[in-house]
Structure 1
Amino acid sequence: MKWGRQVSHKSQVNHVDVELAVVLGRCRMPMQQLLRMGRGAVIPLDTKESDQLWILANGHPIARGEITIQGDRLCITVTEAADVHEFNAAA
């Protein structure tokens, strides 16, 4: 599209905000059990301590990573690109 001046699509895309989220793990449970949960309830996840986490961009898996600590902040260090099929199979 051209309206007086040419605008680079790459330039436009570079300014779009993307929401990143990290999935620690997943769990399935009956609704009855979920409704009984209160403060202090423990939710068992399907993730081991050594497992990599999923990094999502706008809900789509883009990478795997591991938790690191920098100062007083939790961070995620990217370790590899995501395999979408593996992510969907784990759901």
Structure 2
Amino acid sequence: MNAETPGGLMAAVDELGLFGGISVRLSVEVGAVRMSLREVLALQVGGIHALDRRVDQPVDVLINERLIARGEIVSIGDRFGVKLTEILPGGVG
């Protein structure tokens, strides 16, 4: 399944039956940084730490820590959202 198959996710949902009501955690990862415990304990309000991604790179969309898609951050009024640009093969199912 990929970004060229709109509705592909809905077809998978239709096949879930009762399992479709199970709660999962969907999260969006903007980037990460590896730090020592000493560095973590030294964190202060206002500190800035560079992440491992550039501003123009897609964000990862995960379900229960499993990568399923990539997308871009969008503004929806006073909130943020994610526009999916790629659904990864094997990400759902």
The alpha-carbon deviation at position 46 of structure 1 amounts to: 0.5
The alpha-carbon deviation at position 83 of structure 1 amounts to: 7.0
| TM value normalised by structure 2 | 0.73
Find the counterpart in structure 1 of residue 3 from structure 2.
none
Q: Aligned to 1:47, which of 53, 65, 68?
A: 53
Q: Note the aligned Cα RMSD (angstroms).
A: 1.8
| TM value normalised by structure 1 | 0.74
Q: For residues 23-70 of structure 1, what are the alpha-carbon distances to aligned partners after superposition, in whole Å with 9 as ceiling and x for unaligned? A: 010111222121111111112100101000000001111000100011
Work out the number of aligned pairs and report it.
76
- Identify unmatched segments of 5+ residues in structure 1: 1-8, 85-91
- Identify unmatched segments of 5+ residues in structure 2: 1-14
Q: Which has the higher contact order (CA 8 A, sep 6+)?
A: 2
Find the counterpart in structure 1 of residue 23 from structure 2.
17
Q: Which has the larger radius of gyration?
A: 1
* Percent pairwise identity: 30
